[in-house]
């Protein structure tokens, strides 16, 4: 058994932000992607929130299909869009994701409540027959009828399976060092308190959830932080609620709304709903630009990410092939920080390719 204190990766965060419409969720995500520059990417699901923001139209990199269409996931609510969405995420993970990158998905609840729901109805249910007293015989019991029978309990169980697949993919992004920011719409739910006899209203993420299959709890348990954005209100001397003119981001849950964050995330209970304000409170390892644009030969203070054996072998090849060819070779493979190459297959490919250059020299 081997024991180590050296972590080979810096895990990315999953930041889930939710609010009612027109609070600035899309702007928050767009600013995050803009800040990440070439290391940022946005995926639109269910709506094209960027169309209302002229300042972002030609700046924000947005995932699109081979025809250049970026409105491909969840906008029409068709069942086929859900597996296409999951496949696209897997492709982005394989071909694009990496340490220090950031992906923003706006808005996830729309594709879950739309395309994922239709996909579950069509995939997990079959048309059956039922006896109808009115018809005096057997009639068709459709997939949709079965899905929503008993309050939709069976449908919610299938939705939980698909939602878990989505959350697992997000975990893969995080483990690769990529930060994920997702946006969600809010809704008001009846909340049954274990300490009170009377139910009360509470704001939470707008997912089709019940006690039997609580997708909201799945999200809370799998994200680094669940943050709620809304206009801050106060009560005046006449005991009337007065709304403000600015949106705030709330990081601590109350009886009125859901919010949570992982231990070690140092955020105030509330802050202005602005990405650049939010970013200041996070640790340096969140910053998408971090140090991954440094030169190959820069001395780094943080722990080595690639294996020492790999770095030693590459240094030996560098001496043989020459510094100019060595740097050109790595840059042609889009490698600007050799220490960040932790994928064994990539290490093998780089070593063999550089060794071939040495042999031709």
Distance from C-alpha of 155 to C-alpha of 180, rounded to nearest angstrom: 27
Mean confidence (pLDDT) of the chain:
82
Position 235 scores a pLDDT of: 61
Distance CA 222, CA 45 (A): 20
Q: Nearest to residue 104, comparing CAs of 8, 193, 170, 176?
A: 170
* Residue 348: its H or E element: helix 344-360
Give the Cα separation of 247 and 146 in Å (integer).
Answer: 42
Which numeric CATH code is attached to 14-286? 3.40.50.300
Contact 264, 251 (CB under 8 A): no
pTM of the model: 0.73
* Rg of the chain over all Cα atoms, to the nearest angstrom: 25
Q: Between β-strands 200-205 and 225-235, what pairing exists: parallel, antiparallel or unpaired?
A: unpaired
Which stretches of the chain are assigned E, i.e. beta strand?
14-19, 40-44, 102-106, 128-132, 137-141, 179-191, 200-205, 225-235, 241-250, 260-261, 270-272
Residues listed for the chain: 361
pLDDT in tens, 106-148: 989 999 999 999 999 999 888 887 777 787 777 788 888 888 8
Task: Quote the CA–CA distance of 159 and 124 in Å, as a whole number.
Answer: 10
Burial of 67 (0-12, 13-18, 19+ CB in 10 A): exposed
Write out pLDDT tens, residues 41-95: 999 998 777 777 777 877 889 998 877 888 778 767 688 899 999 999 999 999 9
For residue 238, what pLDDT is reported? 64
How far apart (Å, rounded) are the C-alpha atoms in residues 185 and 207?
9
pLDDT per residue as tens digits for the range 35-50? 999 999 999 998 777 7
Q: How many CA atoms lie within 13 A of 257 on its CB side?
A: 22
User: Does 107 sit behind a cis peptide bond, omega within 30 degrees of 0 on the bond before it?
Assistant: yes
Q: Where in the chain is the domain with CATH 3.40.50.300?
A: 14-286
């Amino acid at each position: 058994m081997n024991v180590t204190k050296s972590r080979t990766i810096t895990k990315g965060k999953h930041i889930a932000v939710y609010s009612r419409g027109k609070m600035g969720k899309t702007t928050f995500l767009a600013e995050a992607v803009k800040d990440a520059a070439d290391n940022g990417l946005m995926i639109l699901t269910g709506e094209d929130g960027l169309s209302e923001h002229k300042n972002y139209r030609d700046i924000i990199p947005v995932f699109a299909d081979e025809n250049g269409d970026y409105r491909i996931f969840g906008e029409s609510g068709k069942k086929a869009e859900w597996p296409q969405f999951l496949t696209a995420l897997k492709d982005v993970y394989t071909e694009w994701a990496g340490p220090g990158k950031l992906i923003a998905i706006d808005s996830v609840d729309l594709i879950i409540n739309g395309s994922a729901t239709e996909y579950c109805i069509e995939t997990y249910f079959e048309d059956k027959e039922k006896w109808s007293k009115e018809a005096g015989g057997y009639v068709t019991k459709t997939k949709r009828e079965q899905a929503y029978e008993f309050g939709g309990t069976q449908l919610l169980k299938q939705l939980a399976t698909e939602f878990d697949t989505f959350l697992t993919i997000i975990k893969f992004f995080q483990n690769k060092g990529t930060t994920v920011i997702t946006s969600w719409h809010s809704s008001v739910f009846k909340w049954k308190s274990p300490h009170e006899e009377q139910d009360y209203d509470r704001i939470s993420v707008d997912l089709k959830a019940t006690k039997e299959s609580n997708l909201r709890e799945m999200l809370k348990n799998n994200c680094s932080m669940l943050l709620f954005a809304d206009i801050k209100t106060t009560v005046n001397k006449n005991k009337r609620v007065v709304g403000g003119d600015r949106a705030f981001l709330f990081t601590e849950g109350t009886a009125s709304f859901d919010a949570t964050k992982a231990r070690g995330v140092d955020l105030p209970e509330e802050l202005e709903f602005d990405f650049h304000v939010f970013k200041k409170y996070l640790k340096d390892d969140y910053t998408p630009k971090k140090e991954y644009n440094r030169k190959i030969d820069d001395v780094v203070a943080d722990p080595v990410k690639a294996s020492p054996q790999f770095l030693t072998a590459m240094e030996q090849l560098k001496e043989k092939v020459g510094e100019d060819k060595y740097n050109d070779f790595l840059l042609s493979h889009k490698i600007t920080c050799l220490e960040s190459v932790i994928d064994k297959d990539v290490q093998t490919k780089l070593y063999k390719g550089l060794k071939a250059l040495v042999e031709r020299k």
